[in-house]
Each structure stands twice: as structure tokens, then as C-alpha cells.
């Protein structure tokens, strides 16, 4: 390659420069550099600030020619190039040269983009929790073809063949914080889609969700199926049961598919709707249905069991059946669950 560069230099110095740029990046790739090292070397070659950003992380790496991180805020780029992997744009590279672009900037950007794609494919995205929502949506969408889903999973850092589990989350806490808490030793990617947070991971511990967070967890396997299960499980969460695994719902999951008009017309569900006008009664019924025992419900409510017994007796009259009987408890649980699923 060097002999070819010397021979071509006699014809065109620009050709020699472009070939030397190619040789420079070939050497970097043989050394298996990471993205910061790639940006640092590119800045030294171009003698100006060089930057790299992957869409999957959103984090920009900007290096000065002397090898330090460039100060913020960045000036406008003098030249940019897309990072493309498997025909999809996964990021951007750029140079921040004062004044007009240099004669070899186009060649530098072209080779920098190719090298960045190779590094991203080799090492995966940086160790961050938040991810590009478009990539996450591509993973969980039922309309995605398997090739596109596999590429998106790889760009998000998931190895091929690993079963992915999806959780649907509603939380006032930052989603990346929730993801780091529930998956401390596993890769996890998070994104907010509309009003629901999405967590992608290979394993998740339901017991690690922090207080105040509601989450539905799908089964490991196909991400689009796991997402549908997670959304369904999220609808079944309550104050007493803030985290629900779809596998634990069993036949109760069928209630999510009952037409809402049918549910509203049911006498038991209509009675729960009337009861909802008294939050104290609804809270008592919720605690009793969740625990299945008067004294345990009293513990949850921090009340004496005789007070809870009086409330349940009054609630039973409102509903029209005896709550302390097994059949009555089952009817109350089903009606309360069906009512919660309305308009959810």
C-alpha cells in the first residue's frame, strides 16, 4: 500500500493524501481501538476537533487534537458524515474546523464513519441505560421483520440468540434510574414511548422495583410478544400490587380482552363503579381482595380488625353479596379487576 501511495503521489498529491488517510484508519482498526480513541486519533490527524455520536446512546464524544475532551458547547460542524451499519444510519461523525473544510476532510470523515461503524458492531453501544426510542420501538413492534429486529437488538447491545424480556413501567423516577436498580448485573436499555416506559433486558428482579413504581413484566422470548404481555400486566397493577408478572396472571389475563361495554354492563362491575365514589371503601375492598383475610387487610390499612369488619359489612350491602364468603370474595376480586381495566 505504501509503495502504491508513493507511485501515485507523482501523479496527484491529493490521491497520495487520501491513500494515507485510508492507511491511517486501517492501522487504527488493526489496533482494535474504541470510540474515544478513534475520535482522539481523528482529531490529531485532522488537526481540529473530531466528534462521534451513536443514536443508541445519544452521547457525543468530542476530542481535541491534543487528545483532550473538547469543551462545550460545540461550534457548528464544518463537515459531517453518517455512520451506517447494515444499511441503517446508527450515528454521525463530524469535524469542527474553524473556517472552510480542508482538502482531505471528506476522506477523513468517510473513513472515520466506516471505522466508527466497525467499532459499534464489535463492542456494541456504550454502557448507558437510556436508548434511542426508535430502536426500542423497532425491537418491540409486532410489524417489524425479524432481520430489522435482530439488527436493532445488536445495536442496543444484546447478543444474538439471547431471550429478551420487556417491562412496561410507569414511574415518577427517571427511567434510567429504575432500569439500573432492577437490572444491576444485566444489560438493560430503557426508552419512553408515549406515556409508558420500556425496559429491555435478559433478566429482571421484580423485588428490586423501587416504591412508587408500577410495572408489568412480560415473559422472556420474542420481544414483541413480551411487550404485549408487559402492557397487559401493567393494567393489572394496583397500590397493593405495584409489580405484576404476566405469567402470574394466569386466567385473569383473559379479563383484559373482555369488551369494555360488556364489563360496564355487568352488575358487579357497575356496583364497584358506584363504590369508587367513596375512596375509603374502595381502599378497604382493595386491601381485602389483595390479602384475602380480614386481619391481614387490617394490617395493610393500619386499622383495628373490627373497624375493617364493619366496613366490609357495609360494602357487602352496597355490592349485594357477602364478602366474607369464598364466592363473594372471588366475585369482588373479579369485579374490582374488571373495573380497573376500564378505559385503561
pLDDT of residue 275: 92
Kindly state whether residue 71 falls inside one of the protein's structural domains.
yes
Give the domain-ending residue among 250, 285, 310.
250
| Stated pTM of the model | 0.63
- 300 shares a domain with 228: no
Kindly state whether residue 128 falls inside one of the protein's structural domains.
no
Query: For residue 11, what pLDDT band results from cuts at 50, 70 and 90?
Result: very low
- 147 shares a domain with 243: yes
Contact predicate 308/294, CB 8 Å = yes
Place of cell 485532522: 46
- 296 shares a domain with 197: no
Could you tell me what percent of the chain has a pLDDT over 90? 59
- 264 shares a domain with 237: no
9 pLDDT higher than 70: no
User: Which domain covers residue 212, as residue numbers?
Assistant: 133-250
- Per-residue pLDDT tens over the stretch 100-136: 898 899 999 999 999 998 888 776 655 567 888 888 9
57 pLDDT higher than 70: no
**Distance in angstroms (rounded) separating the CA atoms of residues 15 and 18:** 5
Give the domain-ending residue among 228, 250, 272.
250
Number of domains in the chain: 3
- 64 shares a domain with 19: yes
Over residues 315-323, mean pLDDT: 92
More reliable by pLDDT, 234 or 33:
234
Give the domain-ending residue among 99, 123, 147.
123
pLDDT of residue 120: 81
pLDDT of residue 56: 61
Query: Angle CA(282)–CA(235)–CA(272) in degrees, nearest 5?
Result: 25
Query: For residue 147, what pLDDT band results from cuts at 50, 70 and 90?
Result: confident
Amino acid at each position: 500500500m505504501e509503495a502504491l501511495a508513493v507511485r501515485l503521489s507523482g501523479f496527484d498529491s491529493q490521491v497520495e493524501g487520501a491513500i494515507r488517510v485510508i492507511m491511517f484508519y486501517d492501522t487504527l482498526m488493526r489496533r482494535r481501538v474504541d470510540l474515544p480513541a478513534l475520535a482522539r486519533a481523528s482529531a490529531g490527524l485532522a488537526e481540529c476537533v473530531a466528534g462521534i455520536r451513536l443514536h443508541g446512546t445519544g452521547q457525543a464524544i468530542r476530542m481535541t487534537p491534543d487528545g483532550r475532551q473538547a469543551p462545550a458547547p460545540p461550534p457548528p460542524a464544518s463537515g459531517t458524515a453518517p455512520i451506517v451499519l447494515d444499511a441503517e444510519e446508527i450515528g454521525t461523525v463530524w469535524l469542527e474546523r474553524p473556517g472552510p473544510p480542508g482538502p482531505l476532510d471528506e476522506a477523513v470523515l468517510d473513513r472515520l464513519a466506516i471505522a466508527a461503524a466497525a467499532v459499534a458492531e464489535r463492542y456494541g453501544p456504550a454502557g448507558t441505560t437510556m436508548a434511542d426510542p426508535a430502536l426500542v420501538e423497532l425491537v418491540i413492534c409486532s410489524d417489524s421483520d425479524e432481520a430489522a429486529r435482530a439488527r436493532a437488538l445488536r445495536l442496543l447491545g444484546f447478543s444474538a440468540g439471547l431471550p429478551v424480556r420487556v417491562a412496561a413501567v410507569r414511574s415518577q423516577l427517571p427511567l434510567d434510574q429504575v432500569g439500573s436498580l432492577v437490572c444491576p448485573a444485566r444489560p438493560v436499555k430503557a426508552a419512553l414511548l408515549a406515556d409508558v416506559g420500556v425496559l429491555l433486558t435478559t433478566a429482571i428482579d421484580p423485588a428490586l422495583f423501587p416504591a412508587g413504581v408500577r410495572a408489568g413484566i412480560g415473559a422472556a422470548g420474542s420481544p414483541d410478544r413480551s411487550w404485549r404481555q408487559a402492557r397487559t400486566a401493567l393494567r393489572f397493577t394496583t397500590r397493593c400490587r405495584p409489580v405484576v408478572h404476566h405469567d402470574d396472571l394466569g386466567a385473569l389475563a383473559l379479563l383484559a380482552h373482555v369488551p369494555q361495554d360488556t364489563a360496564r354492563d355487568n352488575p358487579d362491575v357497575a356496583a364497584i363503579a358506584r363504590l369508587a365514589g367513596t375512596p375509603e371503601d374502595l381502599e378497604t375492598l382493595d386491601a381485602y381482595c389483595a390479602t384475602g383475610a380480614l386481619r391481614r387487610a387490617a394490617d395493610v390499612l393500619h386499622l383495628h380488625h373490627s373497624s375493617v369488619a364493619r366496613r366490609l359489612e357495609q360494602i357487602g350491602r352496597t355490592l349485594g353479596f357477602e364478602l366474607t364468603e369464598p364466592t363473594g370474595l372471588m366475585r369482588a376480586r373479579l369485579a374490582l379487576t374488571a373495573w380497573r381495566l376500564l378505559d385503561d
